[in-house]
A and B are shown apart, each in its own frame.
Chain A
Amino acid sequence: MFAYAARRILATIPLLIVATLGLFALESSVRDPVAELRVSCPQCDQIAFDRLIDLYDLDKPVLDLSNPGGSRYIAWLGNVATGDFGNSTSQGDNPVSDTVFTRAKNTMILAVPAFFVIASLATFLGVYSAVHQYSKTDYTITGLSFLGIAMPTFFFGLLLQVFWGIWFHDWFGMRPFFTTQMHDDNFVDLLKSITLPIVTLALVVVATESRFIRASMLDVIHSDYIRTARAKGLSERKVIFKHALRNAMIPVVTIWALDFSALLGGSVVTESIFSWPGLGPLLISSIFAADVNMVMAIILLISVLAIGFNLIADLLYGVLDPRIRIS
């Protein structure tokens, strides 16, 4: 198991290098800080330009294989290997890692509860739909799922803001935006801030996951071993929860891992709509500000999350499915 995990992690390194290199090249080619300085500061002279060039090594190529040491990408890679992600150019002159860390923590405040809401709700809806296939409730859940999948996130978020944050604000005191300082908030304040974004994040994911779980569950319910379980005289509850659910959830683990890692990477749309200081808005603003170090750090984090959770899913797969464990 350990050797397997180690091999999997090593295998992703080339992938990470190619991905970051591509991104680095793109991000450094779309913006020219010198040209921008020239426009924004007509009185600046060559000395200022030279300082800028020197600061960001703009005279060096992104990647020069004949002289790797003189490449900006290789230099960045070397720093990253020592844990130095460089300083930000758009968020003060702070180390990128500090900002990303704070923002990632904020994103987690939404992502972790959102994931548990999603996982439990999708499982409940999917299993219920499958067990009551073709019932009115099944059709209702199916209809709502398609609505949820079709609804644009920004629209649903705005709808929630208007409805619960403004019109019916008196009912639960939901906050349409995150405005106060986080450290002043008590738990209830926090709940009021995170509820609407979490619901927004959850909608599409619950809708797609519940469809997937329903299909997986139906597959299992119609299998021979479920008939065997019924032929034993087991109660329907035991048939569903002891025999069917465990089998139906095996493929769901992968979906959960992907969805959870996506949530942890931050949501551009949802976090922006609710002014939530997470990774999503940071990524967007850094891209616009040509804050290469920041963009690279966030993208690296997102990639590592995706790879890490995929690995966790594969290992869990082995735990849940004895057929994979042995062979």
Chain B
Amino acid sequence: MTEPVISFDDLSVSFPTDDGMVRAVRNVSFDVEPGEVMAVVGESGSGKSVTALAAMRLHPGSTEITGEVRFGGRDLLGIGEKEMRRVRGNGIAMIFQDPMTALNPVMKVGAQIAEMVLTHDDVSKKEAWTRAADLLESVGVPEPGRRVKQYPHEFSGGMRQRAMIAMAIANGPDLLIADEPTTALDVTIQAQVLEVMKTAQEATGAAILLITHDLGVVAGIADRVVVMYGGRVFESGSADQVFYRSQNPYTRGLMSSIPRLDAPKGERLIPIPGTPPNVLNPPSGCAFGPRCAFASDGCHEAHAELMSVGFDGTHRSRCHKLAELPDLFAAAETR
């Protein structure tokens, strides 16, 4: 087995606020293997972004973090700020949700990409700009020579996200974190941008940590999936395991709330009832308990541990009723 690109090990992130401690991420552990696409899914507020930002150490100063984020043979949470800066944009690059606001409005797009190159590579300014144009071309921005001299507001949303991707792959990172990269885009553009990410990944060999609340985005592109809820991992495994052989009520709830092309005719979309847990005052026991159709008294007393559900240890789920789930799901299906 090769070394994972990045390992989250028992990561917990809490924000002290005026109203109390927000425990946004709780004991999260998972790895990303080189060159794979790992998706992190879950409703908004599940702690996906906070997990990613912890890897980049971009959280506010007062944040309390425990656990480890291992990358390149060291714990990123333990290294100095200067060393961390060499990781940002170089070892790990990030693509953010809203391309309309993620680029500096008063800097030319080329300058912003060239800056990424210059920060980590000892090249001339001229060469960095040439690289910027080449990068734009590689992500499918037409007329890159002219486009580098334009400002972000002269780019469409899709083109801006391409520029963000170009910037992210500028230094050939080992890991690309994309936090809801398509959420702010038109549906027609979403597929194109995902395609560009996939191509960029093939060209650079980077692993992708794809964060999204949209399972539709994940379906075609993810190798493995982590499902998060209330700051915890609820299920993890290969895309096949999680999508087709899910062993978790929350994952199933997510799945039946999205439209599927292969769904039998007449199947209705069933949104998960209720809302994600209050972060300041989470429910006792299983965080999904108040919304779970299969919950029983035991679920509200203590939260379940993440358990292996397959034979090879690659598929894991967090639920008190793992043993009964196949029957419960089958019963729900026929109802």
Q: Which residues of A contact B (CB under 8 A)?
A: 223-225, 227-235, 243, 246-247, 250, 320-323, 326
Contact = CB atoms under 8 A, between A and B. Distances in A.
12 contacts: A224-B96, A224-B101, A231-B56, A231-B58, A233-B85, A233-B88, A233-B119, A235-B85, A247-B105, A320-B106, A322-B105, A322-B151
B44 to A, nearest CB: 17
Given A233-B88, A234-B119, A323 B58 contact: no
B90 interface: yes
Contacts of B153: 322-323, 326
Contacts of A233: 85-90, 119-120
A326 B155 CA distance: 13
A323 B151 CA distance: 8
Interface string B91-115: 0011010100111111100000001
Interface in B54-97: 56, 58, 85-90, 93-94, 96
Closest 3 CB pairs of A and B: A233-B88, A233-B89, A224-B101
Contact of B88 (A224, A231, A247, A320): A231
B89 to A, nearest CB: 4
A231 B96 CA distance: 10
A208 to B, nearest CB: 25
A131 B208 CA distance: 33
A228 B106 CA distance: 14
Contacts of B115: 232, 234
A322 B58 contact: no
A90 B159 CA distance: 68
Contact of B58 (A223, A227, A320): A227
Contacts of A225: 101-105
B116 interface: yes
Contacts of A232: 88-89, 115-116, 119, 167
Greatest chain B CB density within 10 A among A223, A228, A232 is at A232
B3 interface: no
Interface string B115-128: 11001100000000
B305 interface: no
Interface of B: 56, 58, 85-90, 93-94, 96, 98, 101-107, 115-116, 119-120, 151, 153-154, 164, 167
Contacts of B151: 322-323, 326
A228 B119 contact: no
Contacts of B86: 233
Nearest to A324: B153
B178 to A, nearest CB: 12
Contacts of B96: 224, 227-228, 231
Contacts of B120: 233
A243 B56 contact: no
Nearest to B151: A322
A91 B120 CA distance: 69
Contacts of B87: 233
Contacts of B89: 231-234
Contacts of B119: 232-234
A327 to B, nearest CB: 8
Nearest to A222: B60
Nearest to A244: B104
Given A322-B151, A323-B153, A231 B94 contact: yes
Given A233-B86, A233-B120, A322-B153, A228 B104 contact: yes
B27 to A, nearest CB: 25
Given A232-B115, A233-B90, A223 B85 contact: no
Contacts of A235: 85
B19 to A, nearest CB: 17
A237 to B, nearest CB: 11
Nearest to B62: A134
Given A225-B103, A233-B85, 10 more contacts: A225-B102, A228-B94, A228-B104, A232-B119, A232-B167, A234-B85, A320-B106, A321-B106, A322-B151, A323-B151
Contacts of B58: 227, 230-231
B13 to A, nearest CB: 16
A229 B106 contact: no
Given A232-B119, A234-B119, A235-B85, A223 B101 contact: yes
A10 B196 CA distance: 52
A230 B153 CA distance: 21
B293 to A, nearest CB: 38
Given A230-B58, A232-B116, A323 B98 contact: no
A231 to B, nearest CB: 4
Nearest to B107: A243
A326 B154 contact: yes
Given A234-B115, A322-B151, A247 B104 contact: yes
Given A232-B89, A232-B116, A323-B151, A224 B98 contact: yes
A321 B105 contact: yes
Contacts of A320: 106
A234 B112 CA distance: 11
Contacts of B90: 233
A227 B105 CA distance: 13
A320 B106 CA distance: 7
Contacts of A223: 101
Nearest to B164: A228
Contacts of B94: 228, 231
Contacts of A322: 105-106, 151, 153
Contacts of A234: 85, 89, 115, 119
Contacts of A247: 104-106
Contacts of B85: 233-235
Most buried by A among B93, B106, B119: B106
Contacts of A246: 106
Q: Which of A223, A234, A247, A326 has the most CB of B within 10 A?
A: A234
B105 A323 contact: yes
A228 B85 CA distance: 13
A224 B154 contact: no
Given A326-B153, A326-B154, A229 B104 contact: yes
